[in-house]
Amino acid sequence: MSVREKQAPVLLVEDDPGHALLIEKNLRRAGLSPSLVVLDNGRKAADYLLKQGDYTPSGHLLPPFVLLDLDLPVLSGLQVLKLIKSDERTKRIPVIVLTSTDNPREIAQCYELGCNLYVTKPVEYDRFSDAIQRLGTFLSIIKTPEKE
């Protein structure tokens, strides 16, 4: 049985509540109706994925994929990406960097660290909504690794 069949929630790591709401709304518009866990800083995301800190006693399933902003408090998105991809328990989880930066060096660094997709969030509301809906359509058809 795949992770998605077990209804594991998607992890969205986004510190801007407005962006988080728009992302969730437009993923649903695209027909992707996952439950979402939204965390607003890098430390919470790392703890959630590694089941440590506040998430130590949790029996939650790991997400089928992670939507990760880079500009985060406490731990940056780059630090979280590095932690995800360097831990045996989480390294196969697809990570989609979803950020407002389109710096070529940052893009290259994310791919070097193991991100699976890098998406730049458009500034304009309509373009942002459209981009997330397209991403949702894409995410609804991809296959992710099954957990043992």
Are 96 and 138 in contact by the 8 Å Cβ rule? The answer is no
Residues of the chain with pLDDT under 50: 1-5, 148
- 41 in a domain, yes or no? yes
Check residue 34 and give its pLDDT: 67
- CA 86 vs CA 38, 79, 108, 146: distances in Å: 22, 11, 18, 18
Report the CATH number at residue 109.
3.40.50.2300
Overall size of the chain counted in residues: 148
Q: Please report whether residue 86 resides in a domain.
A: yes
Q: What is the pLDDT of residue 43?
A: 96
Residue 108 lies in domain: 4-139
pLDDT at site 33: 66
Asked if the structure places residue 68 within a domain, the reply is yes
Count of domains observed in the chain: 1
Predicted local confidence at residue 78, as pLDDT? 96
7 conformational bin, left if phi > 0, alpha if psi -120 to 50, beta if neither: left
Q: Considering the entire predicted model, what is its pTM?
A: 0.86
Q: Identify whether 144 is part of a domain.
A: no
Quote the pLDDT of residue 108: 96
Asked whether residue 80 is domain-assigned, the answer is yes
In a domain, 147, yes or no: no
Residue 30 belongs to a domain: yes
Q: Please give the structure tokens belonging to residue 94.
A: 């697809």
For residue 47, the SS3 value is: helix
Distances (CA, A) of 113 to 6, 24, 37, 97: 28, 26, 23, 11
Paired with 10 in beta bridges are 36
Give 95's strand partners.
66
Does 145 reside within a domain? no
Whole-angstrom Cα distance, residue 25 to residue 36? 11
Return the pLDDT at 126.
Answer: 84
DSSP one-letter code for 119: E
